[in-house]
Amino acid sequence: MACLPRSLSPVNRLVESSLEERLEACRRLARESLESPRRFWLREAGLLDWVRPPEEAFVGEMRHGDMSWFSGGLLNAAWNAVDRHAVASPERTALVWARTEGDLVSWSFRDLRQASSRMAQVLLSQGVRWGDRVVGHLPETPTLAMLHLGCARIGAVPVVVPAGSGAALGRVLRATRARVLVTADEAPTPEGRIPLWDRVEDLLGGLGRVESVLVERRTGAAVTLVYGRDQELGTALLRARPTCALRPCDGEDPLLLVPGLEDGPPVVHGLAGFLLCSALALREAAGVGPGAQVLCTEGFSAARVDVLWGTWVLGGALVFDERGDGAHRPRALGVTHLLGSRGALAAAGPGVLGTSLDGSDASVAPVWSPEGGGMLAVRFGDVGGTALVGVEPVLVDLVGRRASGTGAEGELCMKRSWPGQPRSLEQDHAVFVSQRLERFPGLYRTGLRCRELSDGSLAPTGPIPLAAATPSNVFPIEGPMGRA
């Protein structure tokens, strides 16, 4: 569904519409999603291709973490992100890689389908099956995309630890009990090379569960492979078939895990809900669609993996900026949409649609989920802001009392479940419930602190530790998807 004339492509639509029109379109969709949630979500689920469409949108109750979206429907994430575009427009650009060496490498949707199929075949050869967790510790290269898509083809569940977050790698490996790790020798960055393999070697001695390590030779640094455990990823991919059957998955199966902000297990995200909310937010708030080329200065792993999946579902392309200077040369990279800080948006200049990543003043300034769940609310310049589809926010103080009015600040919570909501913590649903649902009964804690602006919109002010727990005294919450 498009809220503005269908004759315009999503990219041109956003350029030609005013901020007021864009705000009203988002408000109208958000209002409908709260007033008629079942009808709205079953209709919007048509954005995805289904093997078997779901009969219900939401089943369960949020209070105990019993949240199930589009359960019973069957689909495959890789088909929705890549394969269907490879069928309709095989030569359309899906990925642009700006290498540290200075050159650009472009991948079409056909290229990406074949590459992700090879990755899936390699994972299958290592014994990976449906539901298995696969850990990646990779630079911002197409291998990151191949890992996500390869896992999705066979129903495996990836969790990517960014190159700059090495301290989390051991924690993620232990929490997921993963038997397969995909990594690289080094990660080239603007600040220098990060020795990924050295980290992995230091960790694996005490983690006997890891049976297979696939190593990408990104820089050619010295790597000593252990016979029977380690394998060069490039060689394995060359030997693999460029086709792999797609496994239909339930709409509520896990799509991916995101490393938590705290010293805890990764966050679990549901398949269909994550794809749908990521795509709808990028389409309506940022104008992403077919023909868009999206650069995110934070990269596409961890918290911004929603941009990776949402852009591809909509038929756009991603720009992997390994050099880190893409905001200063958007035209050379073909960037149409930039997600970045205030400085990055200013450097890009006119001609690029900018979306803020840090809550700074911009034409599009979203409130982002800190756990990879995408946009929760958005502010359009000085015009005003709104919560996005399915999201019913409330700010509360330390004891759960409503904080409202201009300048009010509090913890951002949700009154009801929405499809992009995190589902659990890996291997520890009890802790998920106690941290996010029990402190303020009837509310879901996002782990984010926000301030209410004069126009009623929200601006993020920082994260909140979810591990802390104090007695609560909260107001009652009512709603079709709130408490039981």
pLDDT tens for each residue of the chain, 484 residues long: 233 233 334 444 444 467 888 899 999 999 999 999 999 999 999 999 999 999 999 999 998 899 999 999 999 999 999 999 999 999 999 999 999 999 999 999 999 999 999 999 999 999 999 999 999 999 999 999 999 999 999 999 999 999 988 889 999 999 999 999 999 999 998 888 999 999 998 888 767 789 999 999 999 999 999 999 999 999 999 999 999 999 999 999 999 999 977 788 999 999 999 999 999 999 999 999 999 999 999 999 888 999 999 999 999 999 999 999 999 999 999 999 999 998 999 999 888 999 999 877 778 999 999 998 899 999 998 899 999 999 999 999 988 899 878 889 999 999 999 999 999 999 999 999 999 999 999 999 999 999 999 888 999 999 998 875 433 333 333 333 333 2
pLDDT at position 18? 76
Helix (H/G/I), strand (E/B), else coil: 7: coil
Three-state DSSP state, 255: strand
CA-nearest of 111, 133, 113 to 121 is 113
Token pair for residue 388?
């996005």
469 within a domain of the structure (yes/no): no
Q: Do 90 and 66 belong to one domain?
A: no
Q: Are 364 and 457 in contact (CB under 8 A)?
A: no
What's the pLDDT at 162? Answer: 92
Q: Are residues 383 and 301 in the same domain?
A: yes
Angstrom distances, CA of residue 413 to CA of 216, 349, 394, 450, 456: 41, 35, 5, 10, 16
| Helices 305-313 & 142-154 angle (0-180, nearest 10) | 70
Q: Which residue has the tokens 């779901």?
A: 54
Give residue 209's pLDDT: 85
pLDDT for position 468: 52
d(CA 461, CA 450) in angstroms, rounded, equals: 5
The residues near 41 (Cβ < 8 Å, ≥ 6 apart) are 33, 57, 58, 69, 70, 276, 390, 419
**pLDDT value of residue 63:** 86
Is residue 159 domain-shared with residue 30, that is, in the same domain? no
Both structure tokens of 391: 């999201």
Last residue of a domain, one of 196, 220, 239: 239
Backbone angles phi, psi at 184, to 5 degrees: -140, 165
Residue 61 placed within a domain: yes
Same structural domain, 62 and 92: no
CATH number of 83's domain: 3.40.50.12780
Same domain, 69 and 163: no
In-domain check, residue 471: no
* Structural domain contains residue 143: yes
pLDDT for 351: 85
Q: How far apart are CA 92 and CA 87, in angstroms?
A: 10
d(CA 418, CA 207): 37
Which of 174, 208, 239 is at the close of a domain? 239
Per-residue b/e over 421-444, b at no fewer than 16 CB within 10 Å? bbbbbbeeeeebbebbbbbbebbb
* Same domain for 84 and 30: no
Kindly state the tokens that stand for 207. 């983690």
Same domain? For 70 and 98 the reply is no
The answer to whether residues 229 and 148 belong to one domain is: yes
Is the domain of 101 the same as that of 189?
A: yes
How many CB atoms sit inside 10 A of residue 327's CB? 24
Same domain, 457 and 377: yes
Residue 475 resides in a domain: no
Q: Is residue 136 part of a domain?
A: yes
Residues 470 and 266 sit within 8 Å (Cβ to Cβ): no
Looking at the structure, do residues 31 and 85 belong to the same domain, yes or no?
A: no
Report the C-alpha gap between 357 and 132 in whole angstroms: 32
The total number of structural domains in the chain stands at 2
Residue after which a domain boundary falls, among 239, 267, 286? 239
Q: Which token pair is 213? A: 């390590």
Extract the tokens encoding 100.
Answer: 């540290």
For 114-169, the three-class secondary structure string (H helix, E strand, C coil) is: HHHHHHHHHHHHCCCCCCCEEEEECCCCHHHHHHHHHHHHHCCEEEECCCCCHHHH
In angstroms, the CA 218 to CA 194 distance is: 11
Are 202 and 344 found together in one domain? no
- The reply to whether 430 falls in a domain is yes
Does 478 fall in a domain?
Answer: no
Cα 116 to Cα 105: distance, rounded to the nearest angstrom: 16
Q: Domain residues for 458?
A: 10-75+249-463
Phi, psi dihedral angles at 437 (to 5 degrees): -125, -25
479-482 long-range contacts (CB < 8 A, ≥24 apart) are 479/392, 479/415, 479/416, 480/37, 480/416, 481/37, 481/58, 481/62, 481/416, 481/417, 481/418, 482/62, 482/415, 482/416, 482/442
How many Å from the N-terminal Cα to the C-terminal Cα in the chain? Answer: 31
Structure pTM?
Answer: 0.92
